[in-house]
A and B are shown apart, each in its own frame.
Chain A
Amino acid sequence: MRELKLYFGPQHLGMVGNFSITLQVEGDRIIKAESNPGYLHRGFEKLMEQRTWIQNFPLVCRINVVEPDHMELIYSMGVEKLAGIEVPERGKYIRSIFCEMARVASHLFGAWAYANMLGFDTVANWAMYHRDLLLDMFEELTGARVYHIYLRPGGVRRDFPDGFTDRLVKTLHKIGGKVPDYNATFFENRLFQKRAEGIGIVTRKEAMRMGAVGHTLKATGLKYDIRKIEPYAAYDHVDFNIPTRTGGDAYSRLLTIRDDMIESVHMIFKLIDKMPKTGEVYTKTPNPFKWKIPAGEAYVRCESARGELGLYMVSNGGTNPYRVHFNTPSFNNGLTVLEKALEGESISDVGNIMISLYVVAPEIDR
């Protein structure tokens, strides 16, 4: 058989995000895959050095389009740690609820991407519709559909509006009521199982060797979740499970994502019940134009929808950060794990595997 060099992306219907993979193909089999990122590189970390601490918020959320909120969270956490600010109790709960909403929205987007990839137009349409219902809640809360800029150092921008939690619960119940339909047509569909089972297997040993995070690891049975390991926001006040599977293939990863979504919804209900009814939602911070943060360094991490998200930040006592470096989950999963997982697979499964690894291109490029 003839060896072919195939360029998968960046202009490709099955590609989520502006990303490209160079495949060396023999017939239908992939011999070697090479990720080719950088189509979305804007040099965020450089740009952030030239802006003040608060001016960085519009930039920081644009690192990941699909779920900007965890980016805001990690940056706020970094600034808080450097400046030594404490978040009030209610602010912590609101942060947690907000981030879990973002997680559900992101997983629904992932379901859209996966369904679209496999030609499940019906489920894709449903998932996008339900994500939109959630985006409406975001819009009510923050005024924006996608980039919210709601979190800030010291807490959140403003309190929940009256009756917001009731409407949120109602929306989540509406989405949750469709889970049986999703299961029947998508997650437990026999044809779909055939498509996804045994595809792109990453065993636990391999995953740990390649430094995988997030669902790639959870699908092999390892409960690696920063929310449990190093609780931030209000996660230490609430009881939740970390869904895992043992297969390590694309199907296990997808089921982990589904279970994670359902768990997140339950967690939002618990958080709403436990939340202090009144109280401050943010600590006052100095004038943002003159705010100087004492010199030092901080490494903070949180669990985004895609896995461990880290931020290394250095301040030299000025009005701008001296160095910011995001360690995004897709960087590892999309460059190291993806190349390994694609080897030996069929080309009809490239998008399948890539989406199951939950790779988002702008997160890699930054």
Chain B
Amino acid sequence: MDRNQIGKWLKNPGKMANKYSFHVVYFCTGCGIIEVPPSITTRWDAERFGIIPVATPRQANLFLITGYVSTKTLAAIIRTYEQMPEPKYTVAFGSCPINGGMYYDSYNTITSLDKYIPVDGYIAGCMPRPEAIFIGVTHLWKLIDMDKADGYKRYREDYVHYRANQEQILGELDWPPLFSKENL
């Protein structure tokens, strides 16, 4: 541990702990997942930074969206994202979640993910190398330090709009709204 950080730890332990203990939802949403096993195993060992995959979204705070998102997956992504406890962070891989990437004209993949769920950061490349994943994570650390990784807050504030966008694509959603008027 860095000695300079002790002050930060005392000031806001929750924030610092969130930084150094990313529990990733293990959800193979796209082809970028192929670089996740190398980065969590021997060669790159993400556990050094406290990053481990967990089995259920309830225990996670980082959601890696690894590549293109088909409409069927989008429903699963939204459900998984809503199950995660706050604070939670989303990082999307590659160009596909930004604007559709090479699937710009595919009838089954959405073109920009941040219309449906908030995304805190994007990692460039198809697919990003394990090093790029780590760079993405360190950037996320900086964002958390500056309180700019506020995707979950935006989701709470603009939930009505996000829900409207989700319903525009997926039709009537078969789960109740996460935030109603009372618990906002």
Contacts and interface: CB of A to CB of B under 8 A. Distances in A.
Direct contact of A and B (CB under 8 A): yes
Interface of A: 10-13, 15-18, 38-43, 46-47, 50, 58-59, 62, 65-66, 109, 112, 116, 124-126, 128-129, 131-132, 135, 145-147, 361-362
Given A47-B106, A112-B37, A147-B126, A42 B70 contact: yes
B80 interface: yes
Contact of B28 (A18, A47, A125, A132): A18
A39 B73 contact: yes
B43 A11 contact: no
- Name the residue in B57, B80, B106 with the highest tally of chain A Cβ atoms < 10 Å from its Cβ: B106
B27 A10 contact: yes
B126 A42 contact: no
B76 A39 contact: yes
Contacts of A132: 38, 42-43
- Name the residue in B25, B28, B29 with the highest tally of chain A Cβ atoms < 10 Å from its Cβ: B28
Contacts of A10: 27-28, 73, 76
Nearest to B109: A42
18 contacts: A10-B73, A11-B25, A13-B55, A15-B28, A17-B33, A18-B28, A39-B70, A41-B70, A42-B68, A42-B109, A46-B106, A46-B107, A50-B105, A109-B37, A112-B41, A126-B42, A128-B43, A361-B28
A125 B73 CA distance: 29
A16 B28 contact: yes
B30 interface: yes
A18 B30 contact: yes
B38 A18 contact: no
Interface residues of B, number: 35
Interface in B115-150: 126-127, 129
Interface of B: 25-31, 33-35, 37-38, 41-43, 53-55, 57, 68, 70, 72-73, 76, 80, 102-103, 105-109, 126-127, 129
Top 5 nearest A-B pairs by Cβ distance?
A128-B41, A129-B42, A13-B55, A65-B31, A11-B27
Given A11-B57, A13-B26, A129-B42, A41 B31 contact: no
Contacts of A62: 31, 102
A351 to B, nearest CB: 12
Contact of A128 (B42, B54, B129): B42
A49 B119 CA distance: 33
Given A129-B41, A132-B38, A132-B43, A18 B108 contact: no
Contact of B72 (A11, A38, A65, A128): A38
B33 A65 contact: yes
Contact of A11 (B41, B80, B102, B108): B80
B170 to A, nearest CB: 14
B34 A40 contact: no
Contacts of B43: 128-129, 132
Nearest to B80: A11
A236 B113 CA distance: 48
Contacts of B55: 12-13
A354 to B, nearest CB: 13
A330 B54 CA distance: 27
A43 B107 CA distance: 7
A18 B73 contact: yes
Contacts of B25: 11
Contact of A40 (B30, B105, B107, B126): B30
A125 B26 contact: no
Contacts of A39: 70, 72-73, 76
Nearest to A124: B41
A125 to B, nearest CB: 5
Nearest to A64: B31
Given A18-B28, A38-B72, A146 B106 contact: no
A62 B68 CA distance: 11
B76 A125 contact: no
